[in-house]
């Protein structure tokens, strides 16, 4: 389905009765939205460790965080490659559709994530440690290719005040090839700035058609869809797990407004997203940026060292 194209009608992912996700509830006369979240103590240990936490919890800080996202998206102007402006061109006149403004990037620029993810380094652990050391405090690990587990942040908002319903992001695999066998993976704590996110999802690109699920959800225990408007921008996150392949993919967003369903593809600043598998490469955990030596880890699944990688 191309951008702006309407869905064939009943049976899409918004109305599929087989969908077991618990969606958000929209209450009151304004734009107040309540999300069906689960307390961390109720989640499995893996999901509990991986959960992205709200750094500043006061309601006033949430307003500030939303304002920052709105300003960032508004200042961007016309949508470059990698960013979607999802107006439905088939809708004209006074009933024109809302525009969906969204972008997707590797974490973390807008959120603070209390988890670890993997990064591929083509050399040895010694050269990696030297590159990441405190003397290179300005080095940005997001310049490296994710491996084993990556985290994507997706800020979304609309051009108007009427809320639209945004479905969970999907990873659309473009190609998968044999995984690299030379180099190492550094499992590093994530950082970033800002607050938490209302929608957290995960997908495994070992599946040629990855299925997106709410992070750690069982039996529909986590919100699946998000209400978004110009007044209530949101940031979605997507954990992408990869065990076996050198994988290239894009991110697809689907949303509904005025009874119409639309889709658009998000790229990584005009390029496809890429992630490597964890199999066949040695793993090292630590944080040379803070003087914590990278040490070889093994004997347990990759998800033990990088929570969230199912």
What is the model's pLDDT at position 167? 94
Q: Is 307 helix (H, G, I), strand (E, B) or coil?
A: coil
What is the model's pLDDT at position 98? 73
Separation CA 31–CA 49 (nearest Å):
32
pLDDT < 70: residue spans in the chain:
1-97, 135-139, 192-198, 217-223, 308-310
pLDDT in tens, 114-151: 889 999 999 999 998 888 777 665 567 778 999 999 99
Name the nearest CA neighbour of 89 among 161, 1, 6, 167. Answer: 6
Separation CA 221–CA 154 (nearest Å):
22
User: Using CB atoms within 10 A of its CB, is residue 184 exposed (0-12), middle (13-18) or buried (19+)?
Assistant: buried
Cα-Cα end-to-end distance for the chain: 29
308 Cβ contact list (under 8 Å, min separation 6) = 46, 47, 49, 50, 115, 117, 149, 151, 202, 215, 239, 241
Q: How far is CA 202 from CA 32, 50, 180, in A?
A: 26, 11, 23
What is the model's pLDDT at position 136? 65
What is the model's pLDDT at position 12? 55
Q: How far is CA 144 from CA 139, 169, 211, 265, in A?
A: 10, 23, 25, 23
Does residue 159 contact residue 99 with C-beta atoms inside 8 Å?
A: yes
Q: Looking at the DSSP assignment, which residues form a beta bridge with residue 164?
A: 228
Name the nearest CA neighbour of 154 among 220, 221, 239. Answer: 239
| H or E stretch at 131 | helix 125-132
Three-point CA angle 166, 174, 191, nearest 5°: 60
């Amino acid at each position: 389905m191309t951008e702006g194209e309407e869905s064939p009608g009943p049976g899409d992912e918004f109305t599929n009765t087989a969908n077991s996700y618990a969606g958000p509830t929209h209450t009151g006369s304004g734009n107040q939205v309540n999300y069906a979240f689960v307390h961390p103590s109720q989640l499995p240990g893996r999901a509990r460790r991986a959960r992205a936490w709200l750094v500043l919890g006061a309601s006033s800080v949430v307003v500030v965080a939303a304002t920052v996202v709105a300003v960032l998206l508004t200042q961007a102007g016309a949508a470059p490659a990698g960013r979607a402006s999802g107006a439905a061109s088939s809708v004209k006149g006074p009933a024109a559709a809302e525009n969906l403004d969204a972008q997707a990037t590797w974490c973390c620029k807008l959120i603070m994530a209390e988890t670890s993810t993997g990064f591929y380094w083509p050399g040895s652990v010694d050269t990696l440690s030297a590159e990441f050391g405190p003397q290179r405090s300005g080095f940005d690990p997001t310049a490296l290719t994710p491996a084993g587990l990556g985290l994507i942040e997706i800020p979304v908002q609309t051009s108007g005040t009427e809320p639209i319903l945004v479905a969970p992001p999907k990873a659309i695999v473009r190609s998968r090839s044999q995984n690299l066998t030379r180099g190492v993976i550094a499992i590093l704590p994530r950082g970033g700035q800002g607050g938490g996110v209302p929608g957290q999802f995960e997908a495994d690109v070992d599946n040629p058609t990855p299925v997106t699920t709410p992070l750690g959800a069982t039996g529909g225990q986590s919100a699946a869809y998000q209400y978004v408007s110009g007044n209530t921008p949101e940031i979605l996150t997507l954990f992408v797990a990869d065990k076996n392949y050198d994988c290239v993919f894009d991110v697809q967003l689907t949303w509904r407004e005025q009874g119409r369903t639309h889709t658009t593809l998000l790229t990584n600043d005009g390029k496809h997203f890429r992630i490597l598998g964890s199999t066949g490469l040695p793993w090292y955990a630590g944080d040379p940026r803070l003087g914590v030596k990278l040490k070889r880890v093994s004997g347990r699944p990759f998800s033990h060292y990088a929570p969230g990688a199912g």
